[in-house]
């Protein structure tokens, strides 16, 4: 058996989601996931630090897309406009093909405190990354922090709406509307 | 020894902060805290679920103050104005006497992932509580969520500024300024 298994990550991921959904997250082990995927437990741990991480394996790619969106945004958009450009860039990640999986994944997270905790950590890291990028672009510390945190609010509320039952609009269409709603509410 | 120890909670709290600061959070046990306070470990667990909770024992009182501030706010302030009234009400909790302790406590949280995780959970619960209260007051679901999350952004950035080195302004003076900054940034 070679060290590198073609498609192993995808097989482990699919097996994990299948087992989490059918038997519950708590009842599923890394060894069980590996067996379901026809791989060894050692292989599992070559790809994922723990079973929680399986559901967050897209986080680095998503964060990179968002940060790049902030980096490439027009400077005259201002701090929140630049941060929101990052959120809009996430639409490339959240395409229609991903929507069904995102729903299943969120149902798992919403019923498990350990997963919710990891999700909150990822959002906090995302806000930090956006804030860092805004400061790199010359935004002062306080507006960078406020804009980054507000962008994460837009991101999370957009995501919730995007996966809601019966929702068919694209991620960026919803994000644009959410940003307008935030502006209206903050303006009072 | 009677079941009720006068001042036991305060003694345990002070002992915990002393030991966390002197020996580190990880190195301190519930039994150690109890011994330092001249009490038994059983008494410790009558007051706190675990050693993490010692640093969050003010959270329910703070959340209640904030939610009451939202409940008592003038309706014509709009969703964010009402939510921000809750943040301003937190000034009663964060008075000058508490500032030194708040600084020590935050230093402990900032150096320990388990404490940061608990803090993020408390902020998420606070956003939920503010959102619930806004909905009780007739605000629709989406504006309630956006206003509640924005209010928590104002709360956390205000708190960080309030405990920053050399800061002497009151919590509500900073909160008022933070809300104005948020409005300016969101308006672009």
To which CATH superfamily is domain B8-53 assigned? Answer: Homeodomain-like (1.10.10.60)
Q: What is the structure's pLDDT at B66? A: 98
Q: What is the structure's pLDDT at B40? A: 94
Task: Write out pLDDT tens, residues B126-182.
Answer: 999 999 999 999 999 999 999 999 999 999 999 999 999 999 999 999 999 999 999
- CATH 1.10.357.10 residue ranges in chain B? 59-187
Q: Which fold has domain A8-50?
A: Arc Repressor Mutant, subunit A (1.10.10)
Cβ A156–B149 below 8 Å, yes or no?
A: yes
Q: Which CATH architecture has domain A59-187?
A: Orthogonal Bundle (1.10)
Task: Using CB atoms, pick whichever of A80, A117, A157 lies closest to residue B186.
Answer: A80
Q: What is the structure's pLDDT at B14? A: 93
User: What residues in A contact B81, CB-CB < 8 Å?
Assistant: 188
Judged against a pLDDT cut of 60, whether residue A128 lies above it is answered with yes
How would DSSP label each residue in A146-181? HHHHHHHHHHHHHHHHHTSTT--S-HHHHHHHHHHH
Q: Is the CB of residue A52 less than 8 Å away from at least one CB of chain B?
A: no
User: What residues in B contact A151, CB-CB < 8 Å?
Assistant: none
Q: Are A89 and A65 in contact (CB under 8 A)?
A: yes
Task: Write out pLDDT tens, residues A38-80.
Answer: 999 999 999 999 999 999 999 999 999 999 999 999 999 999 9
Query: Which is more confidently placed, A77 or A4?
Result: A77
Distance to chain A for B50, nearest Cα, Å: 17
Judged against a pLDDT cut of 90, whether residue B6 lies above it is answered with no
Judged against a pLDDT cut of 90, whether residue A1 lies above it is answered with no
Q: What is the structure's pLDDT at A4? A: 64
Residue that the structure tokens 């306070």 belong to:
B37
For range A155-169, the mean pLDDT: 97
How would DSSP label each residue in chain B? --S--TTHHHHHHHHHHHHHHHH-TTT--HHHHHHHTTS-HHHHHHH-SSHHHHTTTTHHHHHHHHHHHHHHS-GGGHHHHHHHHHHHHGGGTS-HHHHHHHHHHHHHHHT-HHHHHHHHHHHHHHHHHHHHHHHHTT--HHHHHHHHHHHHHHHHHHHHHHTSTT--S-HHHHHHHHHHHHHHHHH-
- CATH 1.10.10.60 residue ranges in chain B? 8-53
A2 backbone φψ class: left, alpha, beta (φ>0; ψ -120 to 50)? beta
Task: Write out pLDDT tens, residues A10-19.
Answer: 999 999 999 9
- CB contact set of A48 (below 8 Å; sequence gap of 6+): A12, A30, A54, A57
Judged against a pLDDT cut of 90, whether residue A82 lies above it is answered with yes
Task: Write out pLDDT tens, residues B87-105.
Answer: 999 999 999 999 999 999 9
Residue A64 exposure: Cα atoms within 13 Å on the Cβ side? 5
Q: Using CA atoms, how far apart are residues A144 and A109, in angstroms rounded to an integer?
A: 29
Largest CA distance in chain A: 63
Q: Is the CB of residue B32 less than 8 Å away from at least one CB of chain A?
A: no
pTM, 2 dp: 0.92
Of A112, A115, A97, A93, nearest to A159 by C-alpha is: A93
* Residue B4's pLDDT band (cuts 50, 70, 90): low
Mean pLDDT value across chain A: 95
Q: Are B88 and B66 in contact (CB under 8 A)?
A: no
* Residue B188's pLDDT band (cuts 50, 70, 90): confident
Burial A120-135 (b: 16+ CB within 10 A, else e): bbebbebbebbbebbb
Judged against a pLDDT cut of 80, whether residue B44 lies above it is answered with yes
User: What residues in A contact B186, CB-CB < 8 Å?
Assistant: 80, 150, 182-183, 186-187
Cβ B142–A181 below 8 Å, yes or no?
A: yes
Q: Using CA atoms, how far apart are residues A35 and A143, in angstroms rounded to an integer?
A: 49
B100: how many CB neighbours lie within 10 A of its CB? Answer: 10
């Amino acid at each position: 058996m070679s060290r590198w298994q073609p498609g192993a990550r995808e097989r482990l991921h699919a097996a994990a989601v299948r087992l989490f959904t059918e038997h519950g997250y708590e009842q599923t082990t890394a060894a069980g996931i590996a067996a379901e995927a026809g791989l060894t437990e050692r292989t599992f741990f070559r790809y994922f630090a723990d079973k929680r991480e399986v559901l967050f394996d897209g986080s680095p790619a998503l964060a990179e897309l968002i940060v790049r969106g902030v980096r490439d945004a027009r400077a005259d958009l201002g701090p929140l406009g630049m941060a929101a450009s990052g959120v809009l860039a996430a639409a490339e990640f959240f395409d229609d093909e991903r929507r069904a999986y995102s729903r299943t994944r969120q149902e798992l997270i919403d019923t498990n405190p350990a997963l919710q905790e990891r999700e909150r950590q990822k959002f906090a890291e995302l806000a930090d990354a956006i804030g860092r990028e805004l400061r790199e672009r010359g935004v002062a510390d306080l507006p960078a922090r406020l804009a980054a945190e507000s962008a994460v609010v837009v991101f999370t509320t957009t995501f919730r709406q995007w996966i809601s039952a019966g929702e068919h609009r694209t991620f960026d269409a919803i994000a644009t509307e959410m940003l307008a709603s935030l502006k209206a509410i903050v303006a009072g």
